[in-house]
Chain A
């Protein structure tokens, strides 16, 4: 299951379309703000989180931090959706533990590329998301 965290309905629709076109067969759920995102992540353990950085209540950076702080989700792949012409936001997201980013409006080609990168990361590090990890390592994003 993929969790999409996005408060703008148009951006949500475009992201869903990109997911569909990229051939994803995963069930997609939507959270509309940071608090809801954390709650759904804990309850549903998504394999992938697509995260808008600008959200009400808890912003994207805060969500990333919270996800990485929790043992079960510390390796969950996070793809940041950014409108920013502020490279600093994306940089900061990487520092906090994001794995990849896609510019909004989500273009499905870009999206597929981002997904491929995530898959490579999975293969490389042999980590599947939301699995209990016993080695205690803390590989952050690429």
Chain B
């Protein structure tokens, strides 16, 4: 491709950045319309100026020295890390941040420097806003963590009293109480313990929402097996068949994935509790979504939209105990990874919970 003068001229006029051509003495030989616009001059005015006019007075001296050393040692200086971050001076006197890149060019036997300038005012403002926002968020997060922890702690103290004294009552005065009184006390204790679980789950949920995500390669198969083994070890009264597909790997935060699997597997174990032979499968489907499938109680799909809300439960506490926060936690974890979670089920035929830990781009890997 031949670069004709006409093409060159057109490029200069059309470029969105300010482009100047400066001769060896620092005089501006040419300035494109964007330069004029950026610095508040007309192009004719610019071509009678030296480059130092576009720089704050206090920096001019230094700039002349730089320019002369650059002439001696010309090299392409792009923007970015090696680019120059300077202040430009507008015709009306105000200063603004600019990023500049320089390159030498020979025109008709004489050496010139092409300078391309970009106004960085908006960029700097954005950076500053970003920095401040991040600081605010970090601060808010710290306060929230400390608040949640105090609240959880303060809420647990009276619960301890309720549970502790009910138990003491049962143990020390049990003989003097009839069956109804025993029942009442048992309910008081059960309620206190339930509330303790709620507090723990809410605290965990709030931590999941605020935790910093550290992405790595997660061995989903291994994690599922570990958690499964632990959960199954306490279920001695029935057979639970846990099948985990091998080599399930995900790019995700390992701690959060462990919490997610804990919640889904715990649910699977719980809702298959009425089955003689429970079967839980962890795998991956053909579109790449992971799933945890059980042959338990299932649920009516008509209520599926309520599944992941906090405190939402699709079964009565008489059938299955629970705080209704487990799935909300799963949803929060999945959302933080940019993925999604959904379920398919049939009443009495079991349920399958699918999840993706990254935005689905259609590729499976």
Any B CB within 8 A of the CB of A129: no
Any A CB within 8 A of the CB of B156: yes
Contacts A10-B160, A11-B160, A104-B160: A83 and B165 contacting too (C-beta < 8 A)? no
Contact with B along A7-20 (1 / 0, CB 8 A): 01011001001000
> Which residue of the partner chain B has the closest CB to A54?
B153
Give the complex CA separation of A14 and B161 in angstroms.
8
Any B CB within 8 A of the CB of A2: no
> Which residue of the partner chain B has the closest CB to A85?
B200
Q: Which chain A residues in 43-79 approach chain B with CB under 8 Å? A: 54
Taking each of A17, A83, A105, A106, which has the highest tally of chain B beta carbons within 10 Å of its own beta carbon? A105
Q: Which chain B residues in 151-171 approach chain A with CB under 8 Å? A: 153, 156-157, 160-161, 163-165, 167-168
Report chain A residues within 8 Å CB of B167.
105, 107
Q: How large is the interface on A (under 10, 10 to 19, 20 to 34, 35 or more residues)?
A: 10 to 19
Report chain A residues within 8 Å CB of B200.
85
Give the complex CA separation of A106 and B165 in angstroms.
10
Report the minimal beta-carbon distance from A109 to chain B, rounded to whole angstroms. Answer: 10
A83 and B153: CB pair below 8 A? yes
Report the minimal beta-carbon distance from A69 to chain B, rounded to whole angstroms. Answer: 28
> Which residue of the partner chain B has the closest CB to A107?
B167
Give the complex CA separation of A87 and B157 in angstroms.
18
> Which residue of the partner chain A has the closest CB to B203?
A85
Report chain B residues within 8 Å CB of A17.
168, 172
A105 and B161: CB pair below 8 A? yes
Taking each of B156, B157, B167, B168, which has the highest tally of chain A beta carbons within 10 Å of its own beta carbon? B168
Contact with A along B134-160 (1 / 0, CB 8 A): 000000000000000000010011001
> Which residue of the partner chain B has the closest CB to A83?
B156
A14 and B156: CB pair below 8 A? no
Report chain A residues within 8 Å CB of B160.
10-11, 83, 104-105
6 contacts between A and B (CB under 8 A): A11-B164, A14-B165, A14-B168, A54-B153, A85-B200, A105-B164
Add 14 more A-B contacts to A83-B153, A83-B160 (CB < 8 A): A8-B157, A10-B157, A11-B157, A11-B160, A11-B161, A14-B168, A54-B153, A83-B156, A83-B157, A105-B160, A105-B161, A105-B164, A106-B164, A107-B167
